[in-house]
Every structure is written in C-alpha cells, then in structure tokens.
Amino acid sequence: MGKMSVSLCGIGLDNPVIPASGTFGYGLEFAEIYDINVLGTFSFKGTTKEPRFGNPTPRIAECASGMLNAVGLQNPGVHHVIERELPALKKVFHKKVMANVSGSCIEDYVYVSELLDREDQVGWLEINISCPNVKAGGMGFGTSCESAAAVTKAVKAAVKKPVIMKLSPNVTDIAAIAKACEDAGADGICVINTLLGMRIDLRTGRPVIANVTGGVSGPCVFPVALRAVYQVRAAVKIPVVGCGGVSSAADVLEMMYAGASAVEVGAANLTDPYACKKIIEDLPGVMYKYGIKNLSDINGSK
C-alpha cells in the first residue's frame, strides 16, 4: 500500500483529504455516521466575532455539474464555538482541526484568530478573505495585494499557529495576491473559494437566489481550481492547499501534481456525506494504478 501521509505547515496528516469549510459544519453531524478520524483534518464552518444569521432564503440553486450558494457565513459566533462546539468535537475527533476565520474588518479577523489560536485542538488558522456572499469584508479583503497583505500581517502578529490565507478566484491575478500574503508572513495559501455566479428563474424572470449572486462550486470549477493551484505554487514557496470541485481520489492526485500539499473537498460533501471517506478509501488503489508509492513525492510539501 502506498504511503498517504503528508505535512501541512509542519503538521503531519495521515492523508491529504480535508473537508472544506462550510460543507462539514463543526464535524459533529458527520461523526454520527462515520469515524471522522479517518480524515487528514477538516476545516470547520467559517466563524465570526458575533453570531450571524446569514443571508435571506432561498440561498441555494443548482447548476450543471455544481451548485450556487449564498449562505452568508451563518454561524453561532466564536465564543459559542469555543464554549460548545470545540469541547463536543474533542470527544469524537482526536486530531488537530483547521479553524476557518471570517470578519468584516481587520480587527474582527484578529479578535477571532487570537481566541482560536489559544485552543489546543486548533492546528491551523484558515483566514477567509474570499467569501463572495457577504456585503462587508469577505471577498473585499482578497481582491487586492494590499488588503490581503494587511489582513495577513495583522493576524500573523497576533497568533502563533500556522496561518493559511484562503483566496478568491474572482480576481485578475491570484498568484500576485498569494505572493503578497507570503511576503506578509502567511504560512500557507488555500485556493480557491467559489466563483461568483447566478441563476434566473424563468417563471418569474428574477434571480433564483435572494442574494442575487452566489458562489459556484462543484465539479464544474475543478479545472479553474487546478489552474489556480498550479499558478500559485509557481509563485510562492509556502504550502498550497487545493480546493474546488474535488470529488474523487483521482482529483486529489491531480491537485497534488499541480502543487497542492493537501486537498480540500467541498460541495461533494453536500451531495454525499460519505464523500471524503470514500476518497480516502479509494486513494491507495488509484496511487497503485499510477505507480505512486508516496504522496509526499508528488505534492508541494514544505
């Protein structure tokens, strides 16, 4: 059997498969149906300083080979996560978890990051500067080198754990923004978040989603994500986490050949709650098929 273990920002993972933030909650629902310790780790739901209700409904729309969502970072707030979610998670997940952090201003990112940095179970801070579905903050911080670097620098000054900046594909030059984050001290880069899209209801002539636009995810975005990983990996020396449209073990290998140190699985979890478990189970066979003995030989591990 091939060796599936990899390293992400100096922390070892049994395998590179990571459920993406927003598709796995805080892990507890999935722990009811299978042992989530089979995962490399997972990125929990985007967490903000204060509780957020999110956007008005409808928030979801289907599209060919994918979906649109405009949930709007609904979450119970960082204090609830620390007091309730993490203690409950600790009972069922015995590895380090990735904390996804969102904010509407730099001070909010720092506040949430500082609190989560103190939690023993948190291994990495994934800083979301790429959500297209919120009016304040979110993607606004990830659309220029200057603002992305400013968030990176502020968070890095406040925490000790590895900081992974999650970037938006809705920009002209994602590699330049990744490089700006690296120069500001980022320990890793995650690409991509969702692409901006919309659907029209032909019965009404109006947008299907109440927010008008939403983030496109699913298999249809995989080639875009793969290209972004390749370009970012060429531009930076820090690890890259590949995300976007991954739904099979073969997709994981493609991402790693493109330069990913680890791979996040998003929308696939929403169509099949066992998706990540199946990908991990399939990886040894696909590795054998292509003559891969050690995943760390083909990825961008640092």
Q: Report, as residue numbers or ranges, the catalytic residues.
A: 131
Q: Which two tokens stand for residue 216?
A: 């496109």
CA–CA–CA angle 58, 71, 206 (5° rounding): 35
Which amino acid is residue 203, in one-letter code?
R
Structure tokens given for 145:
């080198």
Q: With beta carbons less than 8 A apart as the criterion, state whether 300 and 235 touch.
A: no
* Pair of tokens at residue 117: 């940095």
Q: Report in angstroms the alpha-carbon separations of 93 from 32, 36, 39, 52, 213.
A: 11, 7, 10, 25, 35
Report yes or no: 23 and 266 within 8 Å, Cβ to Cβ.
Answer: yes
Q: Sign of dihedral through CA atoms 259, 139, 197, 67? A: positive
CA 111 to chain CA mean position, Å:
20
Query: Cβ(279)–Cβ(249) under 8 Å?
Result: yes
Helices (H), 9-76: 28-31
3-state secondary structure 88-111: HHHCCCCCCEEEEECCCCHHHHHH
Residues written for the chain:
302
In this structure, which amino acid lies at residue 19?
Answer: P
